[in-house]
Amino acid sequence: MKIIYILLGIISFAVGTIAIWIPGLPTTGFYVLTAILWSKSSHRLEEWLHKNKYYIKYVDEAVFNRKLSLRGRVVIYFITASMMSIPFFTTNMLWLKFVLPLTSLTQITAMESYYHGYLWRNGIPFTQNVKRPELND
């Protein structure tokens, strides 16, 4: 089973790294999945991931330490809105024209609430007991 976790983690890490340069594909989700898979398979791989510069930038700093800048968040909102505008303007489905802006507004509200400390003031609930290595600047 460890080998399956390692292979799935490698695939998830590769897709997450490629997603850095592809708008609309979430990097953070794939890196979190990689962390889960590798934590179940190998302590060494898990430690390597936690020290990886992309994991530190996109997951540890941006999510766990709430250090994603306003500019970075605005870029995320803009890319998400542009990706949602494609089906919005190309479909005649009324329900979709209602759901897409609502989804975008929900994303902005949730992210801003999190980064301003209104949501989960003490951190993300399921990560309270996760041991993350200390980062030396």
Contacts of 37 (CB under 8 A, 6+ apart): 5, 6, 8, 9, 12
- Mean pLDDT over residues 120-127, rounded? 57
CA dihedral 91, 93, 95, 98 (to 10 degrees): 30
- Mean pLDDT over residues 100-110, rounded? 85
pLDDT tens string 1-57: 888 988 998 999 898 888 877 766 777 778 888 888 888 888 888 788 888 888 887
**Contact, 133 vs 50, CB < 8 A?**
yes
Q: Left (φ > 0), alpha (ψ -120 to 50) or beta: where does 132 sit? A: beta
Model-level pTM?
A: 0.56
Least confident of 60-64, 90-94, 97-101: 60-64
